[in-house]
C-alpha cells in the first residue's frame, strides 16, 4: 500500500540519519523543554503537577505573567521553525548541519511561517464544521460506546485534519529549497493520492493518541519518567511528521522513488 510505503520511508528517513537527527534536533529540543517549563512557571504552574492528575488553578495572573508566557510561546514557535527548515533542507538539498547548531535561515523561516498560517486559514472553516459534526456524533454514540466514542471520533477527525494539511504541505518544503510554492500546485500534485496520504496520516495520529494516555499512567509511578516519555513521544511524532511532509513533496512533486 502506498500509504504504508510513505510512512515507512519517512520513519527510515529519521532512523537512518541519527547523527543528523541529533545535530538538528538536540539543542532546539532542550531549549523547547526549557521554554515549556518556564512558560508554566511564569503562570505559577509546578511542572510536577502537569501529569499528576491534580487540579491546576491559576489565580489572578497578572499582565506581566501573560506577556512572559506569550514571549515563551514565540520562542517555542521560533525553535519549531528552526528545526523544520533545517530538516527539509538536509533531506532535499543534503545541507548537513555542522556541529550541534542547525543552520539558521531566517528568510526561509519567515516564509515557512507565512505559508503555515495560510494553510491554517484555508483549513480553519472546514475544521470547525467537522468538529461540530464530530461532537454531535460522539455525543450520540456515547451511551453505546462510552468514552471510546470520543476517542474514536477524535482519532478520525485528527486524521482527516492531518490528511488535509499534508495535501497542502508541499508548499512548505518547496519554499525552503528556493522554489515558488503555490497552493493550487500542491493540490494538483496530491489530488490523486488522498487515500494514501490518509493512511500515512492515520499512523502517527494513532501513535500520538497512544502516547497521550501512557504518560498519565506512568505518572502514578514516576512523574519525571512520565514527562520524559511525553517529550520523547512528541519529538518522535514531530520528526516523523516533518519527514512525511518531505517525503510527500519529494515523491509527488519531484518524482523521487520510495525506497
Give me Rg for the CA atoms of the chain.
19
Q: What percent of the chain has pLDDT over 70?
A: 83
The mean pLDDT of 67-86, rounded to a whole number, is 84
Q: Would you tell me the crossing angle of helices 223-248 and 63-93 to the nearest 10 degrees? A: 50
Q: Is the pLDDT of residue 187 over 70?
A: yes
Geometric angle at alpha carbon 218, from 213 and 220, rounded to 5°: 110
The mean pLDDT of 119-127, rounded to a whole number, is 93
Here the cell at position 33 is 523543554
What is the distance of C-alpha 43 from the center of its chain?
A: 24
pLDDT score at 146: 81
Rounded CA-CA distance 208/125 in Å is: 24
pLDDT score at 216: 66
Identify the weakest region by mean pLDDT among 8-17, 188-197, 218-227, 235-244: 218-227
Q: What is the pTM of this model?
A: 0.86
Q: Is the pLDDT of residue 12 over 70?
A: yes
The mean pLDDT of 84-104, rounded to a whole number, is 90
CA-to-CA dists, residue 20 to 13, 15, 26, angstroms: 10, 10, 10
pLDDT score at 207: 83
Question: Is 241 within 8 Å of 205 (Cβ atoms)?
Answer: no
- Measured between its terminal Cα atoms, the distance across the chain in Å is 13
Rounded CA-CA distance 242/42 in Å is: 30
Identify the band that residue 44 occupies on the pLDDT scale cut at 50, 70 and 90.
low
Quick: pLDDT tens for 196-240.
999 999 998 888 877 766 666 666 666 667 767 777 888 888 899
Quick: pLDDT tens for 51-73.
444 444 555 555 666 677 777 77
Q: What percent of the chain has pLDDT over 90?
A: 43
pLDDT score at 202: 92
Amino acid at each position: 500500500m502506498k500509504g504504508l510505503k510513505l510512512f515507512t520511508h519517512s520513519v527510515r528517513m529519521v532512523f537512518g540519519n541519527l547523527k543528523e537527527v541529533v545535530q538538528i534536533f538536540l539543542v532546539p529540543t532542550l531549549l523547547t523543554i526549557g521554554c515549556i517549563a518556564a512558560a508554566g512557571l511564569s503562570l505559577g504552574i509546578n511542572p510536577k503537577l502537569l501529569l499528576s492528575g491534580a487540579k491546576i488553578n491559576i489565580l489572578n495572573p497578572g499582565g506581566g505573567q501573560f506577556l512572559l508566557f506569550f514571549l515563551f510561546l514565540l520562542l517555542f514557535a521560533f525553535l519549531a521553525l528552526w528545526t523544520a527548515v533545517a530538516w527539509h533542507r538536509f533531506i532535499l538539498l543534503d545541507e548537513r548541519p555542522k556541529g550541534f547548531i542547525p543552520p539558521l535561515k531566517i528568510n526561509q523561516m519567515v516564509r515557512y511561517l507565512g505559508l503555515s498560517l495560510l494553510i491554517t486559514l484555508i483549513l480553519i472553516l472546514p475544521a470547525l464544521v467537522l468538529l461540530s459534526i464530530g461532537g454531535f456524533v460522539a455525543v450520540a454514540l456515547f451511551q453505546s460506546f462510552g468514552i471510546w466514542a470520543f476517542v474514536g471520533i477524535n482519532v478520525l477527525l485528527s486524521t482527516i485534519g492531518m490528511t488535509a494539511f499534508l495535501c497542502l504541505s508541499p508548499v512548505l518544503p518547496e519554499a525552503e529549497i528556493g522554489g515558488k510554492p503555490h497552493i493550487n500546485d500542491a493540490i494538483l500534485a496530491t489530488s490523486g493520492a488522498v487515500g494514501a496520504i490518509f493512511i500515512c496520516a492515520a499512523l502517527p495520529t494513532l501513535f500520538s493518541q497512544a502516547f497521550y494516555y501512557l504518560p498519565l499512567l506512568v505518572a502514578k509511578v514516576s512523574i519525571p519518567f512520565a514527562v520524559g516519555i511525553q517529550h520523547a513521544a512528541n519529538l518522535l511524532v514531530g520528526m516523523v511528521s516533518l519527514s512525511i511532509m518531505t517525503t510527500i513533496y519529494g515523491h509527488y512533486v519531484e518524482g523521487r522513488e520510495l525506497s
